Chain A
Amino acid sequence: MSSIPMIEQTAGKGAARAAQRGVGSRRRGAPGGTMRRPGFLTYGFLGAVILGSLFPLWWSFLVGSHDSSVISKGVPLVPGGNFLANAASVLDTIPFWKALGNSIIVSTVTALSVVLFSTLAGFAFAKLRFRGSKGLLVFVIATMAVPTQLGVVPLFIVMAKLGWTGSLWAVIVPGVVTAFGVFWMTQYLRDALPDELIEAVRIDGASMIQAFWYVGLPAARPAAAMLALFTFVATWTNFFWPFIVLDPSNPTLPVALQLLQAAHFVDYSIVLAGAVLSTIPLLLLFAVAGRQLVSGIMQGAVKG
């Protein structure tokens, strides 16, 4: 029993070492060495890009913070004091809290299960020897290019047969493991988890699942966190399938949000207040974990 923390520690170190190696190879040249600092033009261009990325959100808040009678005469460039009133109208028009809760449940459950199953499969593909492993991995990668979204009609028929239409299960179950996740974890574990470590715990009498749990999972932690983040964001923003299979009375956030515009009379100050409200949770997540998202995308690009 006492060996477990030690293994964990070693695995953690191994993972850390591999991660460091990864970062090191991507950094080039001596920092601040031969490269000269860029000039005003560079920062100007970047500033414009950032302005473009942020402006629509700011605009949404501007419109959402004014009364519709003010908006019709042209949107002022300073926020008004009507945001809370508009937000209250949003809560009256759509089941916002229910949608928020549903989105949290669906995204969290999906992210956790994708991480678990992908790490499990990645562990097998990267570290265990079995017949057909190469061919099966190629198959996994190939499925990434398959537009499974086009199977909506039969998927809907199946969900209707199971009586799952309108329930969150219909949204959660098709997403519990993804080809991308399996590929991502396989790539990561191949470098981050030394074979000797698995051999060592196997000799100590650990079963396969124990080797996974005590050595594989800890080593996978950094990549697993990124995978969880991406899955969470992707699930949270997903619209097409939830829109088809869920009921307007039991929606996720994007499904509820589009209901704001489906009314006969569209009040944009309320619609855009809703857009702001629904975006706040992910903006908060971005403030906390945006750095991880950035490095996740960049690592995926180099490995993929």
Chain B
Amino acid sequence: MAVTDRVQSPPPNSHQRASRDRSVKRLAFSQKVSKWDVKLSPYLYISPFFLLFAITGLFPLLYTAWVSLHTWNLIGGQGKFTGLENYEFVLAQPFFWNAVGNTFSIFLLSSVPQVVLAIAIAAVLDANLRAKTFWRMGVLVPFVVAPVAVGLIFNNLFADQAGLFNELLTGVGLDPVRWHSDSLASHAAIATMVNFRWTGYNALIFLAAMQAIPRDVYEAATIDGAGRLRQFFSVTVPMLRPTIIFVVITATIGGLQIFDEARVFDQAGLGGADRQWQTLTMYIWELGWGQRNFGRASAVAWLLFLIIVLIAMANFLITRRIASQGGRR
């Protein structure tokens, strides 16, 4: 590293060169500086985060509530105070409830299989493999593919006509699935994209947690006569519980805000002709930037925020209960 010139207090050896009298004064001064340095520096060092979070995180979030109580246009700006009118309007929209349903459906279809598959992959990676690093890196490749690229690729694989998945289905004598018009099928397709990108990532998290389980627990289980499958379900999975909760909470916060993959699932990006796969974040976009109604968009954003907070709190309470029942952490 290049040695840059020292700033602020002069290097100690300059004191020796100065006269005694001056050095005493300077010492007193530099002690004062040093005292403030010790006191204030920590606050200075942590301030960038708090300032930035206040300005770009907390303030916008709270201000969303304020905007939601007004008529507010993307171009015209703030209009008059309307109280809860935006909420009344939004809650009466079938598209809002449709988006709530879609969001939860996609979320469940992505999180549940993802966690199960990730644990299975982790269990296999935990074996005494040859070329460990190769396999670990292999499962992580999808993580570096941008969700938009994933969306475009799978959009092609899931094409209703002549898409690879439908070709395979008809090839084995099944009916092709209308991925882009049937609501549940479209959710499954979008969930597949999410799973594609995140399963390997989560598998590595589970793998790390599995490796932290003490060996002697398994040895005891072996002595008790438990087979490998029995060990997996009676030792590994219970020991993983805190990690499972962590992964589920992260997946919840991210999964309820899903946008990218669903946005590029067709050309228009509004979630299908009948909004079959429009999520809440997409609905916020449509209201705010499609219809230029910031007031209503904010109302939906605030509602989604409340939903996420409620679910996170439920998660937290469950976690606490499990922890107090004598979990590992």
Chain A interfacial positions (CB closer than 8 Å to B): 1, 4, 8, 26-29, 32, 35-38, 42-43, 45-46, 49-50, 52-54, 56-57, 59-60, 63, 72, 74-75, 117-118, 120-121, 123-125, 128-130, 133, 136, 140, 143, 145-158, 173-174, 176-179, 182, 204-205, 207-210, 212, 218, 233, 236-237, 239-240, 243-244, 253-254, 257-258, 260-263, 266, 268, 271-272, 274-275, 278-279, 282-283, 285-286, 290-291, 293-294, 297-302, 304
Inter-chain CA distance A18–B284, complex, in Å, is 47
16 contacts across the A-B interface (CB closer than 8 A): A29-B215, A50-B135, A53-B141, A59-B153, A60-B156, A118-B49, A128-B41, A145-B312, A151-B301, A153-B288, A154-B298, A155-B60, A207-B9, A209-B7, A240-B281, A297-B201
* Alpha-carbon distance between A176 and B47 when the two chains are bound, in angstroms: 13
A257-B149, A291-B133 as given contacts; A302 in contact with B208, CB under 8 Å: yes
The one of A1, A38, A156, A279 that contacts B129, using a Cβ cutoff of 8 Å: A38
Q: Which residues of A contact B149 (CB under 8 A)?
A: 60, 254, 257, 275, 278-279
Least distance between A162 CB and chain B CB atoms (Å): 11
6 more contacts with CB within 8 A, not counting A154-B67, A301-B206, are A56-B142, A56-B150, A254-B260, A257-B148, A258-B152, A301-B209
Partner of A130, one of B42, B121, B133, B243: B42
- Are A8's CB and B52's CB within 8 A? no
Write out, one digit per residue, whether chain B residues 195-209 have a CB within 8 A of any chain A CB (1) or not (0): 010001100111111
Given contacts A154-B59, A207-B34, A260-B152, A74 and B304 within 8 Å (CB-CB)? no
Question: At the interface, yes or no: B310 with Cβ under 8 Å from chain A?
Answer: no
Proximity string of chain B (252-282) to chain A, C-beta cutoff 8 Å, 1 when within and 0 when not: 0100110110011001010000000000010
B263 proximity list for chain A (CB < 8 A):
239, 243, 258
From residue A120, how far is it (CB to closest CB) to chain B in Å?
4
Partner of B143, one of A37, A59, A233: A233
Please indicate the chain B residues that have their CB under 8 angstroms from the CB of A208 in the complex.
37-38, 41
**Contact between A45 and B208, CB atoms less than 8 A apart:** no
The answer to whether A56 and B60 touch across the interface, beta carbons within 8 angstroms, is: no
* Interchain CA distance A158-B139 in the complex, whole Å: 40
- A257 and B63 contact, CB distance less than 8 A: no
Q: How large is the interface on B (under 10, 10 to 19, 20 to 34, 35 or more residues)?
A: 35 or more
Contact of B136 with A by CB under 8 A: yes
Listed residue (A147, A279, A304) with the most chain B CB atoms within 10 angstroms of its CB? A147
